[in-house]
């Protein structure tokens, strides 16, 4: 078979360092558009990006020639530099060191898109930490609280 094909959909979640509320509502649309362009440039098209003050959710298709860790590194690096360039209020911006990346089946894409789109409503009722624990538990992913929030 001479052709390599893939359809790997990833729900990516990561927060700002120490969950600081860096992501002001006024900057989010521009940040999402910028991150979408970064992903497009590495052949990882975004299906949806949404955030609240302290974290971001992204559903994207992983390129067949790029490791997940490389895609996340490139995205976080580029967006961090972009945010730091937005003025004094963001000059010390940083993303958390880690991330959560979860595979999404084609049959679940619309459900995940709605979940990501509904972030503002969800976070009127629960914190990022509560949400993230719920995601990990729902996927039966073991975790150690001492290392999740770095």
**pTM (predicted TM-score):** 0.93
pLDDT digit string, tens, across residues 103-131: 999 999 999 999 999 998 989 899 999 99
Fold held by 8-148: Alpha-Beta Plaits (3.30.70)
Q: Collapsing DSSP states into helix, strand and coil, what is residue 139?
A: coil
Domains of the chain, by residue range, sit at 8-148
**3-state SS string for 9-32:** EEEEEEEEHHHCCCCCCCCHHHHH
Sign of torsion, CA 126 89 38 77? negative
pLDDT one-digit tens code per residue, 2-14: 788 899 999 999 9
């Amino acid at each position: 078979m001479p052709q390599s094909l893939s359809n790997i959909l990833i729900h990516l979640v990561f927060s700002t360092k120490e969950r600081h509320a860096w992501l002001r509502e006024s900057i989010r649309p521009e940040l999402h558009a910028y991150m979408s362009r970064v992903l497009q440039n590495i052949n990882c098209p975004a299906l949806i990006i949404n955030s609240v003050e302290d974290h971001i959710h992204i559903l994207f298709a992983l390129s067949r020639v790029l490791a997940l860790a490389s895609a996340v590194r490139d995205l976080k690096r580029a967006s961090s530099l972009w945010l730091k360039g937005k003025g004094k209020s963001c000059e010390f911006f940083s993303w958390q060191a880690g991330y959560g990346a979860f595979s999404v089946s084609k049959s679940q894409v619309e459900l995940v898109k709605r979940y990501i789109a509904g972030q503002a409503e969800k976070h009127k009722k629960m914190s990022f930490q509560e949400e993230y624990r719920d995601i990990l538990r729902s996927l039966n992913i073991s975790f150690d609280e001492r290392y999740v929030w770095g």
